[in-house]
Structures are given as C-alpha cells and as structure tokens.
Amino acid sequence: MKTEKQVSILGVVSLLILVMTGCGETQKQTSLEKAQQAEKAVPTAQTQETTQIFEGELMKVDATAKTLSVKNSQGQENEFRYTDQTVISGADGGVEGLATKSGTPVSVHFDTATRTAAKIEVRQRP
C-alpha cells in the first residue's frame, strides 16, 4: 500500500513541477519578447533625435584624418568625420571626388553625438 501511495505522491509532485516549470518558461519568453521589442524601439527614437542636417559650402576634405569642413551662410564652420559607410551623392568617385568640390554647396546628415556624417549630398550651385 505504501508503495502505491508513494508512487501517487511522486506522480503528483512531478506533475506540479512540470506545470510550474512550463509557466516559468512562458513568463521568461514573454519578458524576453517585451525586452527585445523595447530594444528595437529605443534605437529608432534615438537615431531620429540625434541626426541633424548641416548645409553650407564645402571648405576642405582631409582624407588622412577622414574629416571635412563645411561653412554655412552665417559663417559658422563645422568639421565632421566620415567613414567608409558614409553615403556620398553628387560627387563622382566618392571621397576622392568630394575633395575636388571645394566651394560647392553640400548637405551633411550627421549624428550629433559623434559628429559623424551618415550622408553627404553635393548640390548644384544655384
């Protein structure tokens, strides 16, 4: 008799452990999914807030330091970094072509925290 009782109790305890473990795993998955969704949402908001556009005249390009200087119509000159991922439009040959465009109007889309250009658009003179 004791053996049947022990087996029954063991079966009930095992069942409870399985149910509790399953509930815990479901909660972990739900929490993990929520955390992943929050992580995806935050960078998008941060990216939009930290990206700005500076428009002006290209002053110089330093290919060694990977920087360029742009002066706006109010006389404010800003220096920006660029990387191999920086998109350059309107200048043939990428950075090399950009270096020959001194005095040309440009728009620099940059990250305000790092002052790194994500996109440089060379515009036509009016």
- The CATH number given to whatever domain includes residue 100 is 2.40.50.320
| Rounded CA separation 45/33 (Å) | 19
Q: How many domains, the chain? A: 1
Residue 3, domain member (yes or no): no
Diameter over CA atoms, the chain: 100
Residue 6, domain member (yes or no): no
Domain encompassing residue 59: 51-122
Count the alpha carbons within 13 Å of 48 in the hemisphere toward its beta carbon: 4
pTM higher than 0.75? no
pLDDT-derived band at 14 (thresholds 50, 70, 90) equals confident
Residue 109, domain member (yes or no): yes
Residue 94, domain member (yes or no): yes
Residue 81, domain member (yes or no): yes
Which uninterrupted H or E stretch holds 4?
helix 2-50
| Rounded CA separation 13/18 (Å) | 9
**Contact of 99 with 92, CB cutoff 8 Å:** no
Residue 36, domain member (yes or no): no
Residue 106, domain member (yes or no): yes
Residue 14, domain member (yes or no): no
pLDDT in tens, 81-122: 999 999 999 888 888 888 888 899 999 999 999 999 999 999
